[in-house]
Amino acid sequence: MTAMRTPRGTRSDAIVPGAGPGRPTVGTRRRTMGGVKADSRPEGPAEDGVTAALSTGAVARRLGVAPTTLRSWERRYAIGPATREDGRHRRWTPEDISRLEEMCRLTAQGVPPAEAARAAMTAPAATPGSGPAGRNGQEAASSSRAPGGPNALPLGDVRQECRGLARAAVRLDAPAVDALLDAVLAEHGLVTAWEEVIAPTLHAVGRKWATSGERYVEVEHLLSWHVSSALRRVRYAAERSDVPPVLLACVPGEQHSLPVEALAAALGERGLPARMFGPALPAEALHDAVRRLGPAAVVLWAQSRSTADRSLVQKVSGIHWGVKGARKRTSVLVAGPGWAGGAYPGALRLHGLGSAVDVVEALFPR
C-alpha cells in the first residue's frame, strides 16, 4: 500500500496485530464474543444433507442483498420462491437460492437485472445438496458459481455475513451495504462486527486491489465510505463528565483512519469520552490539543513504518500541564502495524479493537 486515493484514508486496516507495514491488509483475528459463533449458519434444520428452506432475511444475508431487493426482484422479474409458508411467508429452497445466486453473479458482471433474471430462470437449477445453497448451510467459498464469479473477493474462512457484505460491495449496491452493516452492528455489537465481519471484508478488498492491477478501487472506496458512515450511526451511551477524554488521532502523514473511527465508536458505546481528530493530524496541532484537553490518554494510529514517528511519541509523552507542584501528563497508546517491531519507551501498544477498548476503559476510575 504505497499510494493513497482518498482524503479520509480508508484503505483496509484494523486495530489488530500481525499486519505488516506497506500491505493493504487488515488483521482478521476472529473471536467469539457474547455467545456469537465464529461461523454463522443459515437458519432451519437440515435433512438428508439438504438445507431446509430459508426465510427472505436469511437469504438476503447470505447473498449480500437487502430483503427489499429480493422482494423487488420477485415483483418485477418473477424470480421468487416456489412456495410460501402458510400462504404468506416466503421460504426459499436450494433451487430458488441457486437461481438468485446466478442472478447476483450476472448483475455483478454488469448484466441488466431483467436480462439476468431471464437467464437465471432458464438455467438448470443446482441439485439440492450439491450447490452452494445445499451444503448444510456452509458457504462454498471455492465454488465456481459463487456470486460475482471472477469478481468475487478472496475471503477464506469467514462468517456468513462477511460474504454477503463482500458481494454487495462488489455489486456497488450501496443500499444493501448500508443495510447489512446496520444489521450486523445491531445484532453482534460493534467490536464483534468489526473484528469478524467488517475488517475481514476490508482485508479482502485490499487483497483484491493489490493483486488486480489496481482494479476494484471503486469497490474499496464505496465500502470504506459506508463503513465510516455506519460507524457514525452507532448510538453512543451518555458520556461520562467526571473524567477527561481520550484523544484519538492518526499521526502526521497517516491517512488511514477507519480503525480509529471504529475505536471512537466503541468507546462511545460505553459512554467513555473521546475526541476524534481523524487522519494526518499535524504534530503542532496534536501538542496543542493535548495541552488544551489534558486527556486521560492519547491514541496514535500509524498504518506504515514510514509514518510511525518515535520522536512524536516521546514529545507527546513529555507534555505536562497543570499548576506547579501538581503537574500531570498523559498516557500514550500506539496502535497500528506501523509501530510493529519497535520499542517506544513510555508508550503502550494496542492489539485488537476489543482489547484496545478494554485497555482504554481501564484508565478510567470506576
Which residue did the predictor score with more confidence, 210 or 326? 326
Cα–Cα distance for residue pair 16/26, rounded to 1 Å? 7
Give the total residue count for the chain: 366
Is 49 in a helix, a strand, or coil? coil
Which CATH number is 135's domain given?
1.10.1240.10
Asked whether residue 190 falls in the same domain as residue 307, the answer is: no
Sign of CA dihedral 132, 134, 138, 142: negative
Select from 170, 201, 232 the last residue of a domain: 232
Q: Is 219 exposed, middle or buried (0-12, 13-18, 19+ CB in 10 A)?
A: buried
- How many angstroms from the chain centroid is the CA of residue 133? 24
- How many angstroms from the chain centroid is the CA of residue 234? 14
Asked whether residue 129 falls in the same domain as residue 75, the answer is: yes
Asked whether residue 87 falls in the same domain as residue 177, the answer is: yes
Which residue did the predictor score with more confidence, 2 or 287? 287
pLDDT in tens, 297-330: 999 999 999 999 999 999 999 998 877 777 889 9
Within a domain: 238 = no
Asked whether residue 53 falls in the same domain as residue 163, the answer is: yes
Within a domain: 253 = yes
Asked whether residue 58 falls in the same domain as residue 121, the answer is: yes
Asked whether residue 194 falls in the same domain as residue 89, the answer is: yes
Q: What is the domain extent for residue 311?
A: 246-362
Asked whether residue 138 falls in the same domain as residue 216, the answer is: yes
Lowest average pLDDT, out of 30-39, 76-85, 123-132, 180-189, goes to 30-39
Within a domain: 264 = yes
Strands (E), 15-129: 46-47, 50-51, 83-85, 89-91
Q: Is the pLDDT of residue 16 over 80?
A: no
Q: Are 176 and 168 in contact (CB under 8 A)?
A: yes
When pLDDT is cut at 50, 70 and 90, the band that residue 82 belongs to is confident
Asked whether residue 56 falls in the same domain as residue 92, the answer is: yes
Mean pLDDT of 338-359: 91
Strand 246-250 with 274-276, pairing: parallel
* Cell numbers standing for residue 353: 479493537
Which CATH number is 340's domain given?
3.40.50.280
Mean pLDDT of 277-285: 97
Which residue did the predictor score with more confidence, 158 or 160? 160
pLDDT of residue 30: 37
Lowest average pLDDT, out of 12-21, 52-61, 72-81, goes to 12-21
DSSP 8-state assignment for residue 54: B
Cα–Cα distance for residue pair 298/283, rounded to 1 Å? 13
Mean pLDDT of 69-88: 79
Within a domain: 6 = no
Q: Is the pLDDT of residue 186 over 70?
A: yes
Asked whether residue 107 falls in the same domain as residue 185, the answer is: yes
Within a domain: 29 = no
Q: Is 92 exposed, middle or buried (0-12, 13-18, 19+ CB in 10 A)?
A: buried
Lowest average pLDDT, out of 12-26, 61-75, 162-176, goes to 12-26
Residue 76 vs residues 79, 86, 89, 111, 303: alpha-carbon distances, Å: 8, 23, 18, 16, 46
Select from 202, 232, 262 the last residue of a domain: 232
pLDDT in tens, 238-277: 999 999 999 999 999 999 999 999 999 999 999 999 999 9
pLDDT of residue 124: 74
pLDDT of residue 357: 97
- Would you say the pTM of this structure is higher than 0.75? no
Within a domain: 111 = yes
Asked whether residue 169 falls in the same domain as residue 77, the answer is: yes
Q: Is the pLDDT of residue 90 over 90?
A: no
pLDDT of residue 191: 96
The whole-chain average pLDDT of the chain stands at: 78
What string of DSSP letters covers 279-293? S---HHHHHHHHHHH
Within a domain: 96 = yes
Q: What's the number of domains the chain is made of?
A: 2
Within a domain: 306 = yes
Select from 232, 258, 287 the last residue of a domain: 232
Instruction: Single out the residue of 130, 124, 125 nearest to residue 49, CA to CA.
Output: 130
pLDDT of residue 277: 98
Mean pLDDT of 95-99: 89
Asked whether residue 156 falls in the same domain as residue 290, the answer is: no
When pLDDT is cut at 50, 70 and 90, the band that residue 35 belongs to is very low
Asked whether residue 126 falls in the same domain as residue 153, the answer is: yes
With vertex at residue 190, the alpha carbon angle to CA 135 and CA 16, rounded to the nearest 5 degrees, is: 85
